[in-house]
């Protein structure tokens, strides 16, 4: 599967403008601003079991998701980083 990448960009006085009107210091299609378009894998379907997940919590402490939730349900949210 070939993944299409959003590359619409226009350089302005304030930075790089993308098709959604967001201005950033990095142009769309470069480094962390590579935005896939079209059909691409996004992970497990809603309701399907997750593989082993080890991550950091909001305080930076290591967390094993399956061990921490002790068999209960969980919501795992991933968000795209932004330039603040």
Query: How many structural domains does the chain have?
Result: 1
Question: pTM of the entire structure?
Answer: 0.39
Residue 38: domain span: 4-69
**Residue 26 is assigned to a structural domain of this protein:** yes
pLDDT given at position 12: 93
pLDDT tens sequence for the chain (84 residues):
566 666 778 999 999 998 888 898 888 777 666 666 667 667 778 888 888 888 888 888 998 988 988 888 888 777 665 544
pLDDT of the residue at 11? 93
Residue 64 lies in a domain: yes
Residue 36 lies in a domain: yes
Closest Cα to residue 27, out of 35, 18, 19?
A: 18
pLDDT given at position 79: 66
């Amino acid at each position: 599967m070939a993944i299409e990448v959003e590359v619409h960009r226009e350089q302005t006085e304030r930075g790089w403008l993308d098709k959604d009107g967001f201005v950033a210091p990095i142009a769309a299609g470069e480094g962390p601003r590579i935005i896939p378009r079209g059909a691409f894998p996004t992970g497990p379907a809603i309701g399907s079991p997750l593989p082993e997940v080890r991550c950091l919590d909001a305080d930076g402490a290591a967390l094993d998701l399956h061990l921490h939730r002790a068999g209960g349900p969980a919501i795992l949210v991933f968000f795209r980083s932004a330039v603040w």
